[in-house]
Chains A and B, each alone.
Chain A
Amino acid sequence: MLLLAANRNFFEWVSFFLQNYGSRFLQGALVTLEVSLIGTVIGFIIGLIVGYLRSIPDNPMSSLWKRVILKIGKMISTIYVEVFRGTPMIVQSMIIYYGSTELFGFEMAAFEAAILIVSINTGAYLTEIVRGGIESIDHGQLEAALCVGMTYRQAMLHIILPQAIRHILPALGNEFVINIKDTAVLNVITVNELFLASKTISATHYRYYEVFTITCVIYFIMTFTVTRILRWIEKKMDGRSSFELYHDDLGGALHE
């Protein structure tokens, strides 16, 4: 048996691992997808909230305490964005996972810690993207919304953000793809995602090349599929390119 194993060629090894560890790979891939999907969604929500906060203009007509609170909020958000963008996620995960026990005395499950880390990390990136998206919308849209009596918050919610989100959708998809790949670093806090699963499998048989070729293909299938799905959603959101004329019973068309 051992002799046989030693004589296997590349393809035989690949089929050996697929047959014996197929479900392990699949489980790892699922964890990777779960963590990156949930992390991206929560991160997007964080990005929307913080990005919105950072876009609020200083209104000299509102009360002093409101302006002070806004100023402090913006300062905190700047610190958040700079710190999480400026340090590696692998280091952040070590600090948060082990620090939660050290500092606050509660032990976080690796999976929960993973989602927390990916979320706040993604949030920091998406905050700037959301702000950029908001700023990319012509200022006239906001003015028109204000002129029909909307408050700044209403104008954002109903007029600016729906358009901004469409603009940033490619960047959001990109972030999701990055997360699928970058969750590999979470193996340092023992999250059983695809990378750690592969590492464990390969270590058992001392076959790294074959195992990680499989891993590579799985990662690629995931990112490729996600990219296609997002492209499809973008197309959907753009709506139809034609419209139907409305036939009015009461007549009209005064100035044709």
Chain B
Amino acid sequence: MSNAIIEVNHLEKKFGENTVLKDIHFCVEKGEVVSVIGSSGSGKSTLLRCINLLEIPTSGEILFHGENILKQAQLSSYRTKVGMVFQQFNLFNHMTVLENCMVGQTRVLKRNPKEAEEIAKNYLRKVGMIAYIHAYPRQISGGQKQRVAIARALAMEPEVLLFDEPTSALDPEMVGEVLNVMRDLAHSGLTMVVVTHEMAFARDVSSKVVFMDQGVIAEEGHPDIIFNQPKNERTRQFLTRILHQQ
């Protein structure tokens, strides 16, 4: 437990009368790649959005290196350490690729523009988007946008990177390029939490798989166990259904 970067205890989230997350316990250790799987509406995206407080939990606690972030007034510094990649990319539309990867560094981390540019270019090189630094988001494809979004998050040099269904909004032929980047990141030792429908990624890349069902974590463990000998009946049903589709 001492290695835990993020620890979630008794987390509950309600939207009005509707309870979306019930008594969630969840833990991310340094270097782990955690895949969160489950059917739509099971609460996996909400869990991710609670972790960086895009949704305010109804109750429970979220510890970052042992400190409860729900008690902190300053979210800014916490959020720089927990990056986020969205399903819809959310690149800043009025900025070039390069500016997208610099604005957080210069405005939040107060890095000087020269340094920020070097760091941004470095990560854009990593995701294979260096040639496009002068392009605006509307000028590049979905897969390219998502790779830029990953570079933007990496440029903040976060401790954990959260991925909210990063390939779900992509055309099938673009899924591969994004997954390749994510695979490289996982192998480089980056701590990642990935909400995904890509079962191959969950099985082959992650060090832990969390299966969510109806707002609770139904089962979690090593991908080999979850995919080959799931204990929970619902996990089995879900995997049978989704693996048949894919």
A148→B103 contact, CB < 8 A = yes
B205 at the interface (CB under 8 A from A): no
Query: Which partner residue on chain B sits nearest A159 by CB separation?
Result: B92
The answer for the CA separation of A92 and B131 in the assembled complex, in Å, is: 58
Q: Which of A144, A145, A246 contacts B131 (CB 8 A)?
A: A246
The answer for the CA separation of A161 and B80 in the assembled complex, in Å, is: 22
B201 at the interface (CB under 8 A from A): no
Q: Report the stretch among B8-16, B134-142, B192-200 that lies at the interface.
A: B134-142
A245→B128 contact, CB < 8 A = no
Within 8 A of B (CB), among A125-176: 138, 140-141, 143-151, 154, 158-159, 162-163, 166
Give chain A's interface secondary structure class.
Answer: loop
B181 at the interface (CB under 8 A from A): yes
Number of interface residues of B (CB under 8 A): 49
Query: Which partner residue on chain A sits nearest B121 by CB separation?
Result: A248
The answer for the CA separation of A60 and B52 in the assembled complex, in Å, is: 16
Q: Which of B79, B124, B147 contacts A149 (CB 8 A)?
A: B79
Chain A residues, Cβ within 8 Å of B94 = 159, 162-163, 166
Q: Which of B80, B88, B124 contacts A148 (CB 8 A)?
A: B80
The answer for the CA separation of A151 and B73 in the assembled complex, in Å, is: 11
A143→B77 contact, CB < 8 A = no
Q: Take A148-B79, A148-B103, A158-B107 as given contacts and tell me if A252 and B131 are in contact as well, using a CB distance cutoff of 8 Å.
A: yes
Chain B residues, Cβ within 8 Å of A162 = 94
How many Å from the CB of A123 to the closest CB on chain B? 25
Chain B residues, Cβ within 8 Å of A244 = 134
Q: Take A149-B156, A154-B108, A246-B131 as given contacts and tell me if A255 and B76 are in contact as well, using a CB distance cutoff of 8 Å.
A: no
A158→B103 contact, CB < 8 A = yes
Q: Take A61-B56, A163-B93, A255-B177 as given contacts and tell me if A147 and B79 are in contact as well, using a CB distance cutoff of 8 Å.
A: yes
Q: Take A147-B79, A158-B103 as given contacts and tell me if A254 and B127 are in contact as well, using a CB distance cutoff of 8 Å.
A: yes
A239 at the interface (CB under 8 A from B): yes
Query: Which partner residue on chain A sits nearest B78 by CB separation?
Result: A149
A64 at the interface (CB under 8 A from B): no
Within 8 A of B (CB), among A60-79: 60-62
A232 at the interface (CB under 8 A from B): no
Q: Which of B73, B92, B124 contacts A145 (CB 8 A)?
A: B92
A104 at the interface (CB under 8 A from B): no
The answer for the CA separation of A251 and B90 in the assembled complex, in Å, is: 27
A149→B128 contact, CB < 8 A = no
A-B contact pairs, 22 of them (CB 8 A): A60-B56, A61-B73, A141-B93, A143-B90, A144-B90, A145-B92, A146-B79, A147-B153, A148-B152, A149-B76, A149-B79, A149-B80, A149-B108, A154-B107, A159-B94, A243-B136, A246-B132, A253-B131, A254-B126, A254-B127, A254-B180, A256-B128
Query: A residues touching B (Cβ–Cβ < 8 Å)?
Result: 60-62, 138, 140-141, 143-151, 154, 158-159, 162-163, 166, 239, 242-248, 250-256
